[in-house]
Structure formats: structure tokens, C-alpha cells
Structure 1
Amino acid sequence: MNHILQYNRRLLVLAGIMLCISWYSTAAQQNLPERVNLGGMVNSEYDEVLPVIAPDAQTLFFVRKNHPDNLGDEKLDDIWFSRLQPDSSWGPVQNIGRPLNTDGFNFVCTVMPDNNTMLLGNQYLPGGGQDEGVSLTRRIENGWSTPENLMITNLANLSRWSEYTMSPDGRVLIMSILRSDSIGGRDLYVSFREDKNIWTEPENLGHGINSVHEDITPFLAADGITLYFSSNRPGGFGNNDVYFSRRQDGTWKNWSNPRNLGYPINTPGWDAYYTVPANGEYAYFVSTNHGFGKSDIWRVELPEELRPVAVMLVSGKVRNVDGDVVPATISYERLSDGKSIGTATVDPETGQYKIALPLGHDYGFHAESDGYYPVSEHLDLTELEGFDEVQRDLVLAPLLQGTSIRLNNIFFDFDQDVLRDESKPELDRLANLLRSRPSMIIQIDGHTDSKGGYDYNIDLSRRRAQAVVNYLVSQGIAEIRLLPRGFGKTRPVATNDTDEGRQLNRRVEYTILQN
């Protein structure tokens, strides 16, 4: 019997060797991209694990284990980071320091699209201790804020280990934990935000995505649809392989069948902690296969079929009319139904913001800050097919008497004076402002481009201004506080010789007559 067992073991080893040779040979024949070790600037003789790439692909956060420059007496797990250089190499690494690094186990779970908010593993306790769960930190001047704990109802993790990822809109957590209802080892679970820092009890994602083995290291891409994770389920290349699945609906319970990412991402070693930026070009992951230390961070260029669903990465700066940075919150909504999609914070030092918008929809987004009107912008992504980036700076106008403010997300059909439904989020914000300032009186100004006769344009612009007044009155604003005026083509703000200029001239503004 022992001879038979030894013979079977030898057959399995030989089969594994032949399969590895087959994988590498097939990869060479198909001219697949090579996985590249990030090199000695990032990797060391110590373990580098838990990489998280910022959505803009410019900063890589990761954990170094037991490094002599880690904080605390035991030098456990600290967060480090590196910035991408102009030549596409990674620059010198830095320990992120306190308050994010403590004497315990510290790690980043998600960098939000705004690049100014991060989800961290563990809850941070007064006095420097840690507890099970997650927390949020925000960029402040000269660093990061003290983490703010998120309370997950009845987390009940039975494992020493856990990993988390947050959806781009900040409303959903996916986690790898072990609970009494787990299918095998650790499973993937979902939790939903109920209030600012309160989250629902985790729900198992089910047999469609979880296995009777270990399903760990989840990462949700910027599209909010594509989920990458690692598993030691049968049929893989090595100890642990990276898989991906796409969400099928808004319940977060229906997923496509998990697909192995294949070589060169997966090897006969242990492959996990997969992370990818919004553009989907390169994936970063951890592998124990032929590195500087036991675990290293690697990068590989992704073929199109393995990339997340394309998004638009919107960035810009928020300033006031004098050019000064304004602390603000960016909110964005889907104009077709007015549904709020998410929020982002602004870098308090630079005024920089970033948001990631899934393709296929028409969006409005706006910046809000006390003492200013929430200036808005509009992006129609219904026809865009691939990843793109766009710059949109937002200039906040103060709520002072005599100030004129453009209502960017007001929409009429051609030559009509009936408000389209997409206009409601913008007008609702204006109604809220007027409710909060009961003494404010405003003039609603309608403007056209140069096409059409003088009298006709005056009449059309006046009727459009009146349509705005009518909507505000329907929202409970006294008509005596609203003065409609039509200026036609008499007050252009741009040339009428181009389509872009004429579009800028077709606008609705309001002027503060009394504050």
C-alpha cells in the first residue's frame, strides 16, 4: 500500500511539473505580457504584502512586515507608500507614519477615487490599541487624519485574519471573514452603509462566488462591478490563485462565475492581493514566486478581457473667484433619475479632487462649501466606450448681494421652454438654498446664443426663466422672492462663432438681489 501511495504522489508531482511547463510554453506561444517585479526600490528582503494602487495610478500603498524601520518594539506591519515617477518606475518608499501606523498590524484596504480618503484595516482605539473592523482616514494638511471607526453590526469574525474593500461610492463593503454560516474557510461577505458610520450585518455572497475553500483578499475595481479575489479552490495554478467576477445587478448577491486570471498573474506559488487602477492598464499583486523576499509585489500589463469595465476619471481643483483653495465636498448624481451616486473630498492643501464615473449615464456633479453656492458641472457619458480622463475645475461663487451664478445643469429641448427632468437636482439645490436663507431674493436670468431674431430670443429666454420660477414655486418658494428676466442674446459670455461658444451663451443664471 505504501508503495502505491508513493507512486501516486510521484505521479502528482510529475503532473504538476508538466502542467507548469505547459503553462509557460503556452504563455510564450501566445506572447502574453510578462509579470515584472517592482524591484529593489519597493521590494526588499522582508515581506511586502497588501498593495493597494490609487485609482489615478500615481501612488502605491503596501505593507512591510517586520522591517527595522517599522514603528513599535515588535516591528510588525506598517503602511508604506511609493509614488510613480515620470519614467514609469516607482520612487523611494516612505513609511506613512503615525497616526495610521501604530505598534500593531496596519494596512490600507481601499484608496477612494477622490485620492483623499482611505479605508484602513482595524479600528483604532484611544491609547494606540486596535480592534477588529475597519476605519476611514482623510487627507489633511501635512498628512492623514486620525482614523474614524466604522461600526459593522455583528461582524462576528471567527478568524484571526480579515480583508476588506469598499465600493467607489462609499456605500458597500465586501470582506473576507469566517462566520458560522461560511461555506468553507473564509468567505466573501457584503455589508451596506445604513448611516454615516453604521453598517449592516455581513451577508454571505453565496455559492455563486464562494467555495468550500478559502476565498480571500477582495478588491473591488473603480467600476463598482468587477471583483478580484484570491482562492485556493481546485483547478488553480498553485497554492492560491487570483480570480475575478462581475456583479450582475444592484442586489450585490448575483455574480458571474469566477474566472481564473491565468498566467502570468497566477503561478505555482501563492498569488493574491490583486489591485488595479481606474484605467485598468496594469495590475499589481503579491506573489511568492522568485522574488527578493518571501513575498514581493509584481506588476503585469492586462489584456483587455481581464480589465475592469471602463470608467471616466474626472479631476480638477476647487477654488473661489480669487483663486484660493476652498475646503469642499464633491457630490455627484445620475441625472436620468436624480439618484445620488457618491461623494468625494477635496485636498485641503491643493484643492484637488477626483471622481470615477461609470460609463453609460448622464451625470451632474457639484462642489459644496459653507458660504458658497454649490457650483455644478455636467458630463454626458452615454456614448463613451473606453476609459478616459477629463479635467474640470470648479470655481465657487460667494453668496453675496450682486453675485451672478450660472445654473449649469438646467436643460431644455431645442427651442422649447419646458424643463427636462434632468434639471431637477440642480433646481432642488437652489430651492434648498432659498429655504435656508428666507430673506434672499433672486433674479432668474435667461440667455440665448445669437441664432434667431432679437425679439424671439428675448421671449424664449424670458419663458425659460419663468419655467425655473414655476418649478421653485412648486417647491414652496414664495414667488415674490423670484424675478424672471429674459436677456436673449444681449449678454454673451463667449464667442457666437463656434458651437462651444454658443453653448456657453445658452444659459440660465441667477443674481442675488437681497441676501
Structure 2
Amino acid sequence: MNIKNALFLFFFVISFNSFCQIEIFSEQISLDSIINSTSDEPNVVLSPDGQTLYFTRKNHPHNAGGSKDQGDIWMSEKNENGAWTQAYNLKEINDERSNHIIGFLDSGRTLLLSNDNKLAVTYFNNGQWTTPKPFNIPYLNSKSKELTASVSADGKHILFGMESFGNYGVEDLYLSRMKPDGSWTSPKNLGAAINTQNQEITPFLAADNKTLFFSSNGHEGEGSFDIFMSTRLDDTWQKWSKPVNLGPKINTKGRERSFTFLLDDEYAYLSSTQNSDGYGDIKKVKIAPEISPIEIIEDTVQVIDIVEEEKIIAISGIVKDKKTNETIIGAEVYVTTEPLNKEFKTLTNSQGAFNLTVDEGNNYIVKVKAFRYLSAEAVVTDASLLNNEQLTFSLEPIIEGNTVTLDHVLFEQGKAVLIQGSEKELDLVVEMMKYNPDVSIFLSGHTDNQGKASLNIALSEDRVQTVMKYLVAQGVNKRRISGKGFGGTKPIASNASAETRKLNRRVEFTVHKIKK
């Protein structure tokens, strides 16, 4: 590395110690009906030269799908006096899907957008925009109703606001970066300093590539969503300064989102519902940012900005109550990768779904547990994950009177000896008992009707005792367990064939008592 590059890298690192500021000189200024309508204008993007303003407009009669259309991209241009002209629909890139503007990947001729939460790119060629084509980000999987995103000024970073893998709450902020070969890294969560259990949306990265603006209802604010600012403290993109509310000149009792500006412009733009003509209107505020654009030196880009990407696998699923089929919110999901035995964890969201990225392995043990439920476990293979399979876990509720069949607790034929592997399901019962200390259970053993009835009763009783001894040996108080063998007196299937008889050979437990 030459001296010039070494000095640049040194000052790049040192600059993380200073907190970039932005001064707000005015309250919100409406762009009136030139830009706004009685429909919702939820997000805004400036062209790199500042001469064109792009925004999304929802449910407008002039949208491609009419007033039911959930989003078209509109635009306005500056005239010779620097004033915005009447906005119009950018029809060549819109369709009846939900179309949202994201940003530019270059100086203004390559536009990134989303169609129903799927990324697409369009190019300005021969005076018009081309038909949007799919744009690939590995493992981009948004569960949000609306994906929000932006592109950095250098076109090498895309930030997302979405509900996806490894969320801290609902929508979180993520980053994808361009690699030296022009492909993109999979989205990486920006961490707990930025993201909360609530929503973080509409991220915007200033031209220094370290000052982040975003909208949140999870940090303390003035209204439903406020604009916050944070500074990146190192090159991991995981360490950030404590987010700062931009204050009452920008943030109101309404919803503020989609804050954006150019360094050489005296105004920043945002969407706000405060005193709007409809839902959200495009507003501007007068600013003075103390931010310097990052200097790009080609032979140091990889040292400064590229961190080697780990090979990861995306896992998603949903957790339900087996009895009611309702989703379970806040269930704990643990994924262990084999053979390294590295554990990852998350919680199910408000829809009972989970999304998680884990290191690549040979197999993945997925375990789900929740209060007042019997945990469930599954082993998933690499191939099924790569096919974007969504896992479904139906948990047995621990409610008084509910009977749970232990399908995988098996015995040697005619004996009360557990077959190897049965311990896994019994361990889930142990965990449930420890997780719910006020629960007692009643074990019942059953056989088919083959053989002498009295011997079947005795065999089923012995099997109950085997299970009881195992649970006690694992630390469950024996006073919380009772049981009985019923032989073949309580079949749940026909005994006419071998295939159905095996269903009658079972061990069950019934939630016998829950202390009030």
C-alpha cells in the first residue's frame, strides 16, 4: 500500500471517532399540490444531480391500477427558476402491482425499485426508462407488507427496512453491499443499537457512508414514527452511536419517514402526515449538514469496505397452536448447525413467523419452545432449505385435560425397554416440566389387543414406570408425575391390521394439574 493510500485509510478509521451533525433551520415546508395529493405519498428519492424528485403515490386514480393500486412511482423536475414542476406518473415503469422507488445505482441512469417487495432495475436509454427487470440480492426475503430501502450515494450499499431473518422485532434495518465482482452480499442486520422490538423503516445513508437516518417508532419520539440519526463507529456495520431524534422542527405528532438530502442542497425532503392534504405529503426542511462525502480510492476499497461474507443459509417458518391452529407470538426458536454445533436464536413475530440466517452446515436442528407448550424439534437438510421450504411447527398446548401422544417414544417388542432415540422426545417433556413448574402430568401406557389382556396391562404398566423413571432421573420431581397402564382397553385405531395396530401401542401424558 502506498503512502497516500495508507494515510487515507488512517484518516478513514480516525474519522469514526467524530459524530457527524446536521443542523435544522426550519420547520416542515409543504410542497403543496404541485407535488402532493389527497393520496398517500410515503417516500421520496432525489436524483443524484438534484434536478428530479421521485416519490411513491398510493391509491391514486391515475395510478396504473387506479385508486386500488398500492403504489406507482411519480416524478417532478425543477424548472429554470429552481422550482418543482407539476408531478406526473412515470408510466413506463409502473404496473398494477405495488411499485416503490428505492434509488439510483449510478449517476442517474440506473434506477432500483420494488414491485410487490421484489427488487427490479430499470435503465434510462434513448430518452426513456426500460421495462424493469428482476434484480438479485442473495437471501433477500422480506415478510413485511411494504419493503422500504435506499441506495447509498456511491451506489455500493443498499439499506433495507424489513421484517426478515434475525429480526430484533418487527421491521429492522439491514445492509447489502456490492462485492468486487459486482454481485451483492446477503442482507445483514445492523444490530441492536439501531433496531428495536418495534419498527425501523426507510433508512437513508448520507454521502459519507457512515451517517444513517431512519424512521422508527421504537426509539423515544414525538409521534408515531420519527426521524433519527446515528453514526457508524467502525467498519463492521454493527457498532453505531445511540440514535438521536432530529427534534420537533422535523418530527411532529404525525408520521415522519423517508428523510433524504444531497450535500450541496439547502433542503432535505421527507414524508409527513402532519397537516397533510391526505395521508402522507412530501415536505422539505432547511438544513446545514456537517458531512463530507467519502473519498473512494480504487485499490483500497476492498480493505476499507469489504468484509468477507460468510456462507449462510436462510431458515423461515411459522409456529402454531396444534389445537386452535392460531399462531404463537414470541415463541423461542433455536437453530443448531452441524457439525460445528453453533447455535442461533430468534423469536416469532406478531404473525407467529420466524426468519433467521445461520452459518452453512450439513444439517440444522431447529427447536421451538414457548410457555405453556410442549417444545418441538426437527432436523432439516441443506437441500430443503435451499428450496426455500417454510417450516411449520404445531405445538401441543399445556392446558389442563389436554392429552399428548409421544409418537417417538418406542419400546422393544414385548418389553419395557426404550428403543434408542426415544430419549429425544422424553427430553422435550423434561424441558416442558422445567419450563412450566406448576404443571403435573398423568402418564398412560397402551398396547394393541394382541395376546393375553392381563399381560398387556402389565406390559403397559411397566412401560409407564420406565418413562416415569427416566423423567425423574432427568430432574423432574416424582410428585409431579402419576400414571397407569391400560393395556389394549383404549384403542385409538383399528386392531384389524398391523398398520393400524401400531397406532394403539403408545405412551401419552395428560396435563393432570396446573396450580392456580
What TM-score, normalized to structure 1?
0.51
Query: 1:80 is matched with which residue: 69, 74, 78?
Result: 74
Find out whether 1:256 has 2:241 as its counterpart.
yes
User: By how many angstroms is 1:112 displaced?
Assistant: 4.3
The reply on whether 1:268 has 2:287 as its aligned counterpart is no
| In the alignment, structure 1 residue 96 sits paired with structure 2 residue 59 | no
Residue in 2 that maps onto 1:149: 134
Counterpart Cα distance in 2 of 1:115 and 1:31: 27
The code of the aligned residue for 1:62 comes to: F
The alpha-carbon distance between structure 1 residues 296 and 220, as it changes in their structure 2 partners (threshold 3 A), is: same
**Given that residues 78 and 107 in structure 1 are in contact (C-alpha distance below 8 angstroms), is that contact kept between their aligned partners in structure 2?**
yes
Distance in structure 1 (CA, Å) of the matches to 2:61 and 2:230: 38
Q: Comparing 259-268 with 134-143, which one deviates more in the overlay? A: 134-143
8 Å CA contact retained: 1:178, 1:185 = yes
Q: Does 1:109 align with 2:72?
A: no
Please point out which of 227, 232, 250 is paired with 1:242.
Answer: 227
Count, aligned residues: 282
**What code does the residue aligned with 2:292 have?**
A
Q: How far did residue 105 of structure 1 move?
A: 0.8
Q: CA deviation at 1:44?
A: 1.4
Q: Measure the CA separation in 2 of the matches of 1:251 and 1:31.
A: 29
Find the partner of 1:300 among 285, 300, 310. 285
Conserved 8 A contact 2:24-2:285: no
Check if 1:68 corresponds to 2:61. Answer: yes
2:225 alignment partner AA? N
Tell me if structure 1 keeps the 8 A contact 2:55–2:74: yes
Aligned-pair distance for 1:61? 0.2
**What is the distance in 2 between the residues matched to 1:160 and 1:308?**
35
Distance 2:238 2:58 in 1: 35
Cα deviation, residue 333, structure 1: 5.5
Cα displacement (A) at 1:97: 1.0
- Partner amino acid for 1:248? L
- Listed one character per residue, the Cα deviations across residues 397-456 of structure 1 (whole Å, up to 9, x for unaligned) are xxxxxxxxxxxxxxxxxxxxxxxxxxxxxxxxxxxxxxxxxxxxxxxxxxxxxxxxxxxx
Cα distance change of structure 1 residues 144 and 94 upon mapping to structure 2, 3 Å threshold: same
Contact 1:153 1:198 in 2 (8 A): no
Counterpart of 1:121, as a letter, is S
Deviation, 1:195, is 7.1
Larger radius of gyration: 2
Q: Distance in 1 between matches of 2:186 and 2:303?
A: 23
- Is the CA contact 1:334–1:340 (under 8 Å) kept in the aligned structure 2? no
Cross-structure match for 1:52 = 45
Kindly provide the CA deviation profile for residues 98-130 of structure 1, in whole angstroms up to 9, marking residues without a partner as x.
2x10111111111345122222123xxxxxxx5
Select the residue among 172, 180, 201 that pairs with 2:157: 172
Q: Identify if the C-alpha distance between structure 1 residues 308 and 182 changes in structure 2 by more than 3 Å, giving closer, same or farther.
A: farther
CA–CA distance in structure 1, aligned partners of residues 304 and 54 of structure 2: 26
SS in 1 for 2:32: coil
1:107–1:341 Cα change, 3 Å: farther
1:262 match: secondary structure: coil
**Cα separation, partners in 2 of 1:76 and 1:252, compared to 1, 3 Å:** same
Instruction: Rate the CA distance shift 1:222–1:143 in 2: closer, same or farther, 3 A.
Output: farther
Q: Is 2:317 the partner of 1:334? A: no
The CA deviation at 1:164 is 1.4
**Amino acid in the other structure paired with 2:123:** R
For 2:227, what is the secondary structure of its paired residue? strand
Task: Report the Cα distance in structure 1 between the residues aligned to 2:61 and 2:248, rounded to whole angstroms.
Answer: 34
The CA deviation at 1:31 is 10
In the TM superposition, what whole-angstrom CA distance separates every residue of 1:234-254 from its partner, at most 9, and x where no partner exists?
A: 420011100111223332222
- Whether the aligned pair in 1 keeps the contact of 2:74 and 2:90 (CA below 8 Å) is yes
Classify 1:236/1:208 alpha carbon distance in 2 versus 1 (closer, same or farther; 3 Å): same
- Post-superposition Cα deviations, 1:194-235, rounded to whole Å, max 9, x if no partner, equal 476743322211111111211111112233222211000242
2:184 to 178, 182, 199: 199
Aligned twin of 2:459: none
Q: How far did 1:59 drift? A: 0.8
Amino acid at match of 2:124: R
- 1:467 aligns with none
Query: Does the 8 Å contact 2:214/2:257 carry over to 1?
Result: yes
TM-score under structure 2 normalisation? 0.51
Amino acid paired to 1:41: I
> Aligned in 2, Cα 1:275/1:308: closer, same or farther, shift over 3 Å?
farther
The one-letter code sitting in structure 2 at the alignment partner of 1:266 is N
**Contact 2:24–2:286 (CA<8 Å) still a contact in 1?**
no
- 3-state SS in 2 of match to 1:257: coil
Shift of 1:337: 4.8
- Shift in CA distance, 32/142, structure 1 to aligned 2, threshold 3 Å: closer
Whichever residue aligns with residue 291 of structure 1, its letter is: S
For residue 40 of structure 1, give the secondary structure of its aligned residue in structure 2.
helix
**Counterpart AA for 1:283:** A
The CA deviation at 1:171 is: 2.6
Please list, as runs of the form range in 1=range in 2, the aligned pairs for 1:46-445 lying within 5 A after superposition: 46-72=39-65, 74-98=68-92, 100-112=93-105, 114-122=107-115, 132-194=117-179, 198-302=183-287, 304=288, 307=289, 309-311=291-293, 334=297, 337=300
CA distance in structure 2 between the aligned counterparts of 1:234 and 1:246, rounded to whole angstroms:
16
Gaps of 5+ in 1: 1-29, 123-129, 313-331, 343-515
Contact 1:150 1:197 in 2 (8 A): no
| Shift, 1:290, TM fit | 0.6
Hey, what does 1:326 align to over in structure 2? none
Conserved? CA contact 2:180–2:302, under 8 Å: no
- For 1:83 and 1:301, the matched residues in 2 are separated by 19
Task: Supply the AA of the counterpart residue of 1:334.
Answer: I
- Which residue does the alignment assign to 2:486? none
